[in-house]
Structures are given as C-alpha cells and as structure tokens.
Amino acid sequence: MNIKDYNFQGKRAIVRVDFNVPLDENGNITDDTRIQGAMPTLRHILEKGGALIIMSHMGKPKGKVNPKMSLGQIKDAVSQALGAPVAFAPDCAKAADQAAALKPGEALLLENLRFYAEEEGKPMGIDKTDPAYDAAKKEMKQRQKEFAKTLASYADCYVMDAFGTAHRKHASTAVIADYFSQDDKMLGFLMEKEVQAVENVLNNIKRPFVAIMGGSKVSSKIGIIENLLGKVDKLILCGGMTYTFAKAHGGEIGGSIVELDKLDVALSVEELAKKNGVELVLGTDSICGDSFSNDAQQRIYPSNAIPEGWEGLDAGPETQKAFVNAIKGAKTILWNGPAGVFEFDNFCAGSRAVGEAVAEATKEGAFSLIGGGDSVACVKKFGLTDKVSYISTGGGALLEAIEGKVLPGVAAIKG
Ligand code: AMP
C-alpha cells in the first residue's frame, strides 16, 4: 500500500520511527534530526483522521530496562515537534488499553522497544559457542513473533518509517508486518525518500561517479568499499584508514590509528581497484598531532613517513588538493565518513575541503548523497546542509542498501 492512498480516518496506525536521538548527560536532545525526519509521516496520519502509536528504540539497553535510555525523556520534544499532545506508555508490551482508548488525532509513544530482548530477537547473555545457543535462539525467535504480534494487536495498520534500523530484522521493523494484510502496511515518507535516494545512486548513475569513504576503520566498511569498486569511477579513501594502507606498503605511521590485521585487505582493495579500472585516491600527506587532542602540536608529514610521537589526524594540504580535484566534475557523489578527526576544530580542514568540494559539484549539477552519522555531522558543522542533494538518516542501513542488499524493513512491506 502507498501511504498517500491509505484511508487513515478512524484508524489506529502503529508507526516504527527512529527516535534514537543523541542525549546529553541531563537527558536533553543534542540533535533532533531524526525526530524531524519522522514528522511528515506522523503529521500526515493525524491530519487524515488517524491515531498514532509511535514506537522506537533508543541506544543499546540489551533487553533490560534502563532509565537512561527511556523514551519518556523525549516525549515532550516529540509532542512539540508534532504540535499535538503525546501520551506515554511506560511498558511497550502492555499498552493495549492505552492504544484502544486513542481517538482520531491522538498520539501514544511507547517505551523503548529494546527494553525487551524480543525486539532484536537475539538470545542475550549466552555465547554463540555455547551448545545451548541454537535452542535459545530458536526459543527467542518464537518469543519475537509473540512480541511482534502484541505490538500489531494495538493497531489497524502498520507504517515502517525507521530507515536507520531497516537493515535489521527486528520485531518492530520487519516481523510485525506479518500480522497485517498487504493493504494495511506501508512505508512512511522518510523511508520512501531514503529508498529513492539510494535508487538514484544505484540505478540512475550519472558519471563520473565519485565515492568518498572515510572514518576510522577499513574493517567496518570493507563490504561497501568492495561493492563500490564495481560501480564508481573514482574512490577516495580517507580518514583513519589511510594509515592501514600506508602500513600495508611498509610505511612509517607513528602512532596513527591502524588495523594491523587488515593490511592484506588494504592491498586487495588496491588490486580490485586496478582490475576494475577505478581510480583510487589515497592521502599522501597528513596533518599530524603529537597527541590525540584538539590542542596538540601540529606538523605535516608524508602519510607513510610519520615519526614516533606523532599521529595522522587530518588530510594534509597536498591531499586536500587531490581530493578536491577528484571530486570536481563528479555527477554522482556518495560521501560516508570524515577525512580526519573533524570533531577537533584544529583537525577538520580536510573534512571541510571535502564537504565544500561536494557542495561545489552539487551546484554544478551532481547528485550528492551524504550518509552515516559522522559525515552528516560534518556537513552540519560546515553549514553545508542545504548545499548537498540528500542527507540520509541511515548509517549501516544506507551502506547495506548501497551494497545492493534488500533491507528487511523494506522487504517486509514490499515482499
Ligand atoms: P566511522 O564511525 O568509522 O565512520 O569513523 C568516524 C570517526 O573517525 C570520527 O569520529 C573521526 O574522528 C574518526 N577519524 C577520522 N580520521 C581519523 C584519524 N586520522 N585518526 C583517528 N580517528 C579518525
């Protein structure tokens, strides 16, 4: 079903959103992007005469109640964003009465789904190597179904709008859909937009296609890097992974971040790029610090000749130029992960240069997709939010979608 065509009048809709927002130590929201992202769907349902049961996870409470991760803390912010009062159900699995009492135009926010291990459907506190693991897993899958069925019983229809968790087959993101007919389940507006943005990058590629992968580690991104090597014209690899590549060639990297067990992976990435005719752009110089701190002394060294006592924290001037040149003229751009420790104002120049080059190429007609929490934070830090084509709310989900995997949260709706 398409959300625009659904008649919500008098219906109770259970909506999976991603309200996993960052909180400070006092429980104040430090970035409400995810709350805002869900608003088009939530407002639409209320405006069309429906009632809302809103559900989400927050953090990783691992199946236990943890007040620090209570969604009660964000109830007022949700209500304010929605422009309507929002009631709170302190136990998401015992909210039947509150849900049944909802009238059109009313909203109920359920407590953190992950206070129940059933949400993720993984046995907690038992190791995979334990002989009892398989039986525990089977039992947990059964309990997951029961949990999903309970959530489904609150509502007449199900809307999936949590792109950030759409790559997980959890009770609320996928299993619940089994308890609704095809006509009563649908993707929300945010999901539709995210899926469309991925389509643009995967199936509607205008060339040259330049991907920029940064961040701290090669290991967490190797799947997507290998996949991109079959699609892009140029691949910029930056940030902390620079030093795993430098080390793989016998370079000196001082105290820079490195994954010593991934040196072979770095070499095989280079080989695959060569085989596929992809131009691999790696940093050649680094802005180094004498400690991991914003106030560290700074020196520029070649990325493969960093002395002991120094660590590469940002792309050097020569590297920045090379990155900007590689991005210039691109018609499709994917950016995931910063080019340095952008959180430190004194080591954010490389990430800024990349962001500004992406904005410039976008102005010249490129489609630019920015995804993964940190690159989004980068784009915001440099005031470039309105100068890129699309900012995804998904990290892992975005990368898996771009790898070409069908997300369980999408498959549950579309079959
Ligand atoms: P990821 O979660 O893998 O995308 O990594 C993002 C993090 O990588 C950010 O917090 C950056 O500060 C960090 N990062 C980027 N470049 C470096 C570097 N050269 N050394 C250490 N950390 C880095």
Q: Are 367 and 389 within 8 A, CB to CB?
A: yes
Among 12, 16, 34, 352, the one annotated catalytic: 34
Tell me how far the alpha carbon of residue 312 lies from the centroid of ligand 1, in angstroms. 11
Ligand 1 pocket, residue 395 CB under 6 Å: no
Q: Are 92 and 115 within 8 A, CB to CB?
A: yes
Tell me how far the alpha carbon of residue 343 lies from the centroid of ligand 1, in angstroms. 9
The Cα-based distances of 319 to 144, 290, 322, 330, 377 in angstroms read 49, 20, 5, 18, 22
Which residue in this structure is represented by tokens 């992007």?
A: 33
Helix spans in 130-237 (H): 133-152, 189-203, 222-228
Determine the pLDDT at residue 112: 98
Told to judge if 49 belongs to the known catalytic residues of this protein, a careful annotator would answer no
At 27, the amino acid letter reads G
Which SS3 state, helix, strand or coil, does residue 367 take?
A: strand
Determine the pLDDT at residue 242: 97
- Ramachandran angles phi, psi of 314, nearest 5°: -160, 160
Determine the pLDDT at residue 352: 98
Ligand 1 pocket, residue 313 CB under 6 Å: yes
Ligand 1 pocket, residue 385 CB under 6 Å: no
Provide CB contacts within 8 A for 205, sequence distance 6+.
231, 332
For ligand 1, atom 2: residue with the closest CA: 215
- Burial grade of 103 (CB within 10 A; 0-12, 13-18, 19 or more): exposed
Residues pairing with 187 in the sheet: 160
Torsion sign (Cα): 294, 295, 296, 299? positive
Ligand 1 pocket, residue 217 CB under 6 Å: yes
Told to judge if 143 belongs to the known catalytic residues of this protein, a careful annotator would answer no
Ligand 1 pocket, residue 374 CB under 6 Å: yes
Told to judge if 395 belongs to the known catalytic residues of this protein, a careful annotator would answer no
Ligand 1 pocket, residue 294 CB under 6 Å: no
Mutate which of 238, 259, 352, 374 for ligand 1? The one with the most ligand atoms within 8 Å of its CB, which is 374
Determine the pLDDT at residue 22: 87
DSSP E strands in 157-315: the ranges are 157-160, 185-187, 209-213, 234-237, 252-253, 279-282, 285-289, 298-302, 305-306, 311-315
Determine the pLDDT at residue 373: 66
Please report which helix (H) or strand (E) contains residue 53, including its range: strand 51-55
Ligand 1 pocket, residue 117 CB under 6 Å: no
Q: Find, among 358, 371, 339, 344, the residue nearest to 243 by Cα.
A: 339
CA angle 364, 359, 30 (to 5 degrees): 155
Residues pairing with 109 in the sheet: 54, 88
Residues pairing with 213 in the sheet: 237, 336
Determine the pLDDT at residue 120: 97
Which atom of ligand 1 lies closest to the CA of 337?
Answer: 4
Among 62, 143, 169, 217, the one annotated catalytic: 217
Told to judge if 373 belongs to the known catalytic residues of this protein, a careful annotator would answer yes
State the CB neighbour count (10 A cutoff) for residue 260. 8
Ligand 1 pocket, residue 341 CB under 6 Å: yes
- pLDDT mean for each 10 residues of the chain (415 residues): 98 97 90 93 98 97 96 97 97 98 98 98 90 94 98 98 96 98 98 93 90 91 91 97 97 98 96 98 98 98 98 98 98 95 97 98 96 85 95 89 92 92
